Amino acid sequence: MTEARERAVAAFRELRGGPPDGVAVAPGRVNLIGEHVDYEDGFVLPVAIDRSLAIAFRRRSDRSVVVASLERDETSFDLDRLERRPGHWAELVKGVASGRAGWDGVVASDVSIGAGLSSSAALAVAALLVDAAVSGRPWEPLEAARAARRAEAEWTGVGCGIMDPLAIVSGREGCALLVDCRSLEVRPVPLPDGAVVVVLDTGTRRELAASAYEARRDECRAAAEALGVAALRDASLELLAARGAGLAPATFRRARHVVSENARTLEAVRAGAPAFGRLLDASHASLRDDFEVSSPALDRIVQLARRRPECFGARMTGAGFGGCAVALVRAGEAEGFAEAVAGAYSRATGLPGAAYPCRASAGARVEAL
Ligand code: GLA
């Protein structure tokens, strides 16, 4: 398949009758471990992947933004009169606009929508890159990650954590990124020797995820308050045992997930592939049983992945309730693994599963043509 970047540039030439000034490329991300902890100031370990969203763009002399998507429709807006259109894909493009300069753009994406690979954060970050380029502003990755998160909350009503945009702006070839979601420090960490990352797509998309996501966040807030800590990042299993007796049973389990997941993430950074794989397995169990954000399809694909001898471990990734899982697999065997798991999953469920190895890739950037 032609990459998003090439498709966006080719479509731009065709639609706009000339070359773009440049193309903004923002990778998707897959989180290896550290799930549902970013909004409690925890530690996460995502990788930027070699599937990305691209916007080919050209500065306009007026104050309009005209943006077409190869996957969705074309839309335009006036920078001086931003009107809301709830549910429309380009709300994030409006949400990140600084209002300094207008542009024409064409969007193409290799990141599946709603699959837990951060397609929406990739769109917000790519639009921020375009906005910075056409208005001649320097690129400040951390500022951009914050702005993307703000736009998502204000323009789509989803109160996400900082992990997704921060992973997208910080990607590094061959590395995962250990993010301290309190200090926002990002440390590139090489992937375990002899292992590659494989994304397993269940073909199901999360429904009602936004309300469940909010509910989990609220439970975590309530737990932190009851435990007397600023965020669950500051709690330990000992503290939970000592002070958690008054918590509702579900709230107790949510807190136990966050506390144990933070410990697993920090352990994973030091682990070789086999130990890393066991941590992935434990993370999945905790997300399924304590945090209750997995789904039958996710449980199934994870189970099928683990049956393969070349698999070190696997778990659901992202917000959950559908979408993708991630597996750590012996290098050199990832293609065969992906094919076998996707086939077994489709036969078992009748759903169109897919699986593909991913390379850890560079972060969001503008490329000249
Ligand atoms: C979504 C959010 C992230 C994070 C994950 C769960 O992807 O956007 O901020 O909370 O869910 O780890």
CA 182–ligand 1 middle distance (angstroms):
15
CA 31–ligand 1 middle distance (angstroms):
9
CA of 161, closest atom in ligand 1: 9
Choosing from 29, 36, 111, 262 the residue with most ligand 1 atoms within 8 A of its CB, the one to mutate for a pocket test is 36
Choosing from 111, 118, 164, 265 the residue with most ligand 1 atoms within 8 A of its CB, the one to mutate for a pocket test is 164
Structure-block tokens of residue 314: 């696997």
pTM of the model: 0.96
40 lines ligand 1 (CB under 6 A): no
CA of 116, closest atom in ligand 1: 7
41 lines ligand 1 (CB under 6 A): no
CA 160–ligand 1 middle distance (angstroms):
6
Sequence-ordered strand ranges (E) for the chain: 22-33, 43-59, 64-69, 74-78, 103-109, 175-180, 185-190, 195-201, 311-316, 324-330, 354-358, 365-367
CA 151–ligand 1 middle distance (angstroms):
15
C-alpha–C-alpha distance, residues 314 and 282, integer Å: 9
**Per-residue confidence (pLDDT) for residue 205, from 0 to 100:** 87
Residue nearest ligand 1's atom 3 by CA: 161
Active site residue 164: yes
**Per-residue confidence (pLDDT) for residue 10, from 0 to 100:** 98
C-alpha–C-alpha distance, residues 18 and 218, integer Å: 50
**Per-residue confidence (pLDDT) for residue 159, from 0 to 100:** 79
Q: List b or e across 337-350, with b for residues whose CB sees 16 or more CB atoms inside 10 angstroms.
A: bbebbbebbeeebe
Residues in CB range of 302: below 8 A, 6 or more apart: 200, 284, 314, 315, 316, 325, 327
Per-residue pLDDT in tens (0 to 9) along the chain, 369 residues: 579 999 999 999 999 999 999 999 999 999 999 999 999 999 999 999 999 999 999 999 999 999 999 999 999 999 999 999 998 999 999 999 999 999 999 999 999 888 889 999 999 999 999 999 999 999 999 999 999 999 999 998 877 899 999 999 999 999 999 999 999 999 999 999 999 999 999 999 876 578 899 999 999 999 999 999 999 999 999 999 999 999 999 999 999 999 999 999 999 999 999 999 999 999 999 999 999 999 999 999 999 999 999 999 999 999 999 999 999 999 999 999 999 999 999 999 999 999 999 999 999 999 988
171 lines ligand 1 (CB under 6 A): no
Structure-block tokens of residue 250: 């579900």
CA 161–ligand 1 middle distance (angstroms):
6
Of the listed 41, 50, 104, 164, which one is catalytic? 164
38 lines ligand 1 (CB under 6 A): yes
C-alpha–C-alpha distance, residues 280 and 268, integer Å: 9
**Per-residue confidence (pLDDT) for residue 1, from 0 to 100:** 53
58 lines ligand 1 (CB under 6 A): no
